[in-house]
Amino acid sequence: MGPQYRSAIFFRDEADKALALEVKTEVTEAKIWPNPIVTTLEPLATFFVAEDYHQDYFARFEKASPAERMKFNAGYCSAVVAPKVLEFRRKFATRLKSGS
């Protein structure tokens, strides 16, 4: 709970905002998930680079061995994030870059 755990897209300009809204609408209309997408679109104000251990977090989780996954928030990644990512990849496979 709390704003630090929300999903958000931060846009630099109106073109970024329009693209983000277009993709969000497309994914919403695809009805991949039963609940509404709650990701917010917000103007980029101040940006702070997160610590290294936050970078590419889920990608590193997917590639990790079971022992390495113990260092991650493995329960959340396995139960919440992974099913959503897999369903998105299945639905939009033709639009993803190779290796995604």
List, for residues 35-74, the tens digit of each pLDDT value: 888 899 999 998 888 898 888 888 888 899 988 888 777 7
The token pair at 94 is 């033709």
Judge whether residue 85 has pLDDT over 60. yes
- As a three-state string, the secondary structure of 1-43 is CCHHHCCEEEECCHHHHHHHHHHHHHHHHHCCCCCCCCCEEEE
Overall pTM > 0.75: no
Judge whether residue 5 has pLDDT over 80. no
d(CA 31, CA 81): 17
Residue boundaries of the structural domains of the chain:
1-48, 50-100
The token pair at 76 is 């959340």
